[in-house]
């Protein structure tokens, strides 16, 4: 079971960061931003975007999803 702390620790090790904004109604918007010159292996982009809806999933399920994507790692932007 993942937590926000585990996600932050994994991001810190990679030099990436997590941003959070309050969304509309019951949603929160999250972005996981890769360090300069890197892209996420899961989508070949610099940013992973998420919406957390407390009526659809638990926080643990949400953080598991985010951590799974982070664990796929980073690629050099020039290597794509």
- The domain segmentation of the chain, as residue ranges, is 4-73
Alpha-carbon distance of 48 to 70, in angstroms, equals: 9
Per-residue model confidence (pLDDT) at position 22 = 79
pLDDT tens digits for 17-29? 999 987 777 789 9
Buried b (16+ CB within 10 A) or exposed e, 2-32: beeeebeebbeeeebebeeeeeeeeeeebeb
pLDDT tens digits for 38-76? 999 999 999 999 999 989 999 999 999 999 999 999 999
Nearest one of 60, 68, 61, 64 to 42, comparing CA atoms: 68
Provide the 3-class DSSP secondary structure of residue 40.
strand
């Amino acid at each position: 079971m993942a937590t926000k702390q585990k996600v932050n620790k994994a991001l810190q090790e990679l030099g990436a960061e997590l941003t959070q904004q309050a969304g509309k109604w019951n949603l929160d918007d999250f972005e996981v931003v890769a360090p300069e010159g890197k892209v996420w292996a899961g989508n070949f982009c610099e940013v992973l975007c998420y919406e957390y809806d407390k009526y659809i999933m638990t926080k643990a399920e949400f953080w598991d999803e985010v951590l799974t994507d982070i664990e796929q790692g980073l690629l050099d932007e020039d290597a794509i």
